Chains A and B, each alone.
Chain A
Amino acid sequence: MSILTVKNLKLQFGGLLAVNDLSFTVEKNSISSIIGPNGAGKTSVFNMITGFYRPTSGEIELDGTSLVNKKPSQITKLGMARTFQNLRLFPNLSALDNVKSGMHCRTKEAVWGALFHTKSQKEEERLIEEVAQECIDFVGVRKYMQRSAKNLPYGAQRYLEIARALATKPKILLLDEPAAGLNFEEKQYLIQLIRRIRDEFHITVLMIEHDMGLIKEISEHITVIDYGCKIAEGTPNEVLNNEKVIEAYLGKEEVI
């Protein structure tokens, strides 16, 4: 059963066709990947799915609900969370406060509750704190909880961003190059983390990644795009032996 369906997606920036007639589906409870050479349009696809770019045409559905023309915040509320390619944490805020942001769309107290410290407001604050701490523990950055995000080691910042996304209680999590900049041990830890997210929380994971080792190890399904078009899809073994894929990557010898 698929959770995310992308149909005939197209994105045009002026004269540049960034994404062209792209269709793919993501199976529920899977760990899937989108790969492709630099500039292939992967992040543009993420930005359209999460509502930051408006597709020129095409359809995107999450669990049968259309996401086109919805604001990013609405899409998050529907159960989609994301991380960014170049870390977008709230730099001055503590790690804990960063993660609390995820709970915003799952809570509802307004000005009134805040001003008069109503019982329901206090309860909600307690819940926010609890969930945030859980997520922080889950990714293993508790010892940095009170520190400003910008002062965390790079790897911890990556994990923190994932914790923040988890706090929105998503059905599907989109990771944009989660391993970028991580060293070997950190990558191993990330692989465990992604597995646990799927196995323990039953959250579907879709990621963009350049690290083929990592993708081979955890990805169950891969979609390859180049110049905004899908050129192949399937299991890691199928895809990485596909002629078109090898051709697309040719000249980037360090990749495969």
Chain B
Amino acid sequence: MKKYKKHSLLLLVLAMFLLPFLLDIYWLDVITLVLFYVVLTQGLNIVVGYTGLLDLGYAAFFAVGAYTTAILMTTFHWSFWLTLPVAALFAAIAGIIVGTPTLRLRSDYLAIVTLGFGEIVRILAINLDITGSASGIYGIPRPTIGSYVLSSQQDFYYLILIIAILSVLVVYRLGHSRIGRAWVYIREDEDAAEAMGINRIRLKLLSYATGAVIGSLAGSIFAVKMSAIAPLSFSFLQSVMILLAVVLGGLGSIPGVVIGAALVIVLPEVLRGAEDWRYLIFGVALVIMMIFRPQGILPKKYETEDRSDPEEETNDKNHSISV
């Protein structure tokens, strides 16, 4: 069974590499966007899905990556590849800056504070000279590998595909490690996790920082792919769409979240002509999902074997306590 799974995964990756030969430019662009969303949703998945911290300003980290790369490449003429670690570092710092004051907040306050931070980042981008104000930064150079210039649609497709595969791998491996389990313990019951010797403050910050770094990677590549960026791409709505993809797919579930990313991007393309209806449909979808299937389309499974003994009755947790 496990082997079968591995094979089909390899097949899928192979198919993804062959895709540019099968698709026209238009659909290739759509799939490229899906892959951007795969990276972003995996990053947010760590924060919301694993650790259970509702972040409504995740687009801010996407922005940090994009602007760092754009500024370093245009103003300081850095190589694209060198901007990546710097962008990641800035994003990690930003993640810790957002994370630190929110550590002790309850989940709903946390949501509002992250939203506030997200808006502050966007307003900064609109108002600062270095970020090019409202019109943003344009004329971002193309990245090069040796003497080869990455410039075609296909080049960027492969670049983001590799990053998407890497981010899936990173999130998967973290999820199956001591760190990833600790994140999930915190989500399930913070106090109990702390009682088990898990330093929740350190692990929450690590979660924010890791999520931020992954988001910034997507941002850096976004900047060179578009060659122009503007604050509009990093709005609250962007954060909500990323969150929607994570929730739709299934919080904490890696394949679920990939499906969520694909749905959020491809659906509006299929429903062309009904563009005005896009956000209304997504809004209603969120409500319906939460009421009828809060675990998402492809939920994360925590029970590894099927439950086979039917004679066991599940006892009521609110058992009365004898005196």
How large, as a class, is the contact surface on chain A?
35 or more
Chain A residue with the shortest CB-CB distance to B318: A86
Measured between beta carbons, the chain B residues less than 8 angstroms from A87 are 317
Q: Given the interface contacts A88-B189, A168-B196, A180-B322, does A104 sit within 8 Å of B181 by beta carbon? A: yes
Q: Given the interface contacts A72-B194, A88-B192, does A109 sit within 8 Å of B178 by beta carbon? A: yes
- Determine whether A8 belongs to the interface, using a CB cutoff of 8 Å to chain B: no
Contact A104 B302 (CB under 8 A): no
Contact A73 B192 (CB under 8 A): no
Comparing A11-19, A142-150, A219-227, A228-236, the segment that makes contact with chain B is A142-150
- Determine whether A101 belongs to the interface, using a CB cutoff of 8 Å to chain B: yes
- Determine whether A215 belongs to the interface, using a CB cutoff of 8 Å to chain B: no
- Determine whether B108 belongs to the interface, using a CB cutoff of 8 Å to chain A: no
CB-contact partner of B197 in A153, A168, A180, under 8 A: A168
- For the complex, give the distance between the alpha carbons of A76 and B196 in Å: 6
Comparing B262-270, B283-291, B305-313, the segment that makes contact with chain A is B305-313
Minimum C-beta distance from B42 to chain A (A):
14
Measured between beta carbons, the chain A residues less than 8 angstroms from B278 are none
Comparing A91-99, A193-201, A237-245, the segment that makes contact with chain B is A91-99
B148-181 vs A, Cβ < 8 Å mask (1 yes, 0 no)? 0000000000000000000000100110111111
Minimum C-beta distance from B218 to chain A (A):
18
Contact B170 A115 (CB under 8 A): yes
Comparing B26-34, B69-77, B97-105, B198-206, the segment that makes contact with chain A is B198-206
- For the complex, give the distance between the alpha carbons of A146 and B303 in Å: 5
Minimum C-beta distance from B1 to chain A (A):
15
Measured between beta carbons, the chain A residues less than 8 angstroms from B194 are 52, 71-73
- Determine whether B188 belongs to the interface, using a CB cutoff of 8 Å to chain A: yes
Within 8 A of B (CB), among A44-95: 50, 52, 71-74, 76-77, 81-82, 84, 87-94
- For the complex, give the distance between the alpha carbons of A157 and B305 in Å: 18
Number of chain B residues close to chain A: CB under 8 A: 43
- For the complex, give the distance between the alpha carbons of A115 and B214 in Å: 14
- Determine whether A110 belongs to the interface, using a CB cutoff of 8 Å to chain B: yes
Contact B173 A77 (CB under 8 A): no
Chain B residue with the shortest CB-CB distance to A117: B173
Measured between beta carbons, the chain A residues less than 8 angstroms from B309 are 143
- For the complex, give the distance between the alpha carbons of A43 and B77 in Å: 62
Chain A residue with the shortest CB-CB distance to B306: A146
Chain B residue with the shortest CB-CB distance to A155: B315
Other A-B contacts than A104-B197, A124-B178, A180-B321, 7 sampled, CB-CB below 8 A, are A72-B195, A90-B184, A104-B185, A148-B303, A210-B323, A211-B322, A252-B323
Which 3 pairs of residues, A with B, have the shortest CB-CB distance? A105-B197, A114-B177, A154-B315
14 of the cross-chain contacts (CB-CB < 8 Å) are A71-B194, A73-B196, A77-B197, A97-B181, A101-B193, A109-B179, A113-B177, A114-B173, A114-B178, A154-B315, A154-B317, A157-B315, A180-B321, A255-B323
